[in-house]
Amino acid sequence: MESIKDYLSSNNIRPSYPRLKIFEYLDSKRNHPTVDEIYTALHREIPTLSKTTVYNTLKLFVSEGIARVITIEDGEARYDSDMSVHGHFKCTSCGDIYDFSVDIPDKRVKGLENFEVEGREFYYFGKCSNCLQLNKNK
């Protein structure tokens, strides 16, 4: 918890207890949770926690560059504390989201030579290996 406190402080974020717990959850679970999922997971431990606090904390994390919003489907904002370049795969069967490595040279994409690219996202959809295996065994 002390390293999370230092990390938040070094990123200009006052490390309140709810902020510490929200970042700890986001960083340790790696399940790309929604606001509702984080709230549900932490509400018992922090009874005074509100969904508004979770939302505002995540918004602060995003604005300070220590988390990102992942919008794989319309109306489903998820959060990720892994700021490295990587992609996301969403299983259309179970709904789980998996990270995968992306090895693309940091060069301009053809057709964007006169543009300033500020970010890039890689999303794939399909069935995960677990769901494929379950379907095979039926």
Which residues belong to the annotated binding site for Zn(2+)?
91, 94, 128, 131
Angle between helices 2-10 and 17-29 (to 10 degrees): 100
In DSSP terms, which residues pair with 123 in a beta bridge? Answer: 88
Which residues line the annotated binding site? Answer: 91, 94, 128, 131
Whole-number Å distance between alpha carbons of 8 and 11? 5
Task: Characterize the bridge pairing of strands 76-80 and 68-73.
Answer: antiparallel
Whole-number Å distance between alpha carbons of 71 and 90? 11
| 18: its two tokens | 């709810």
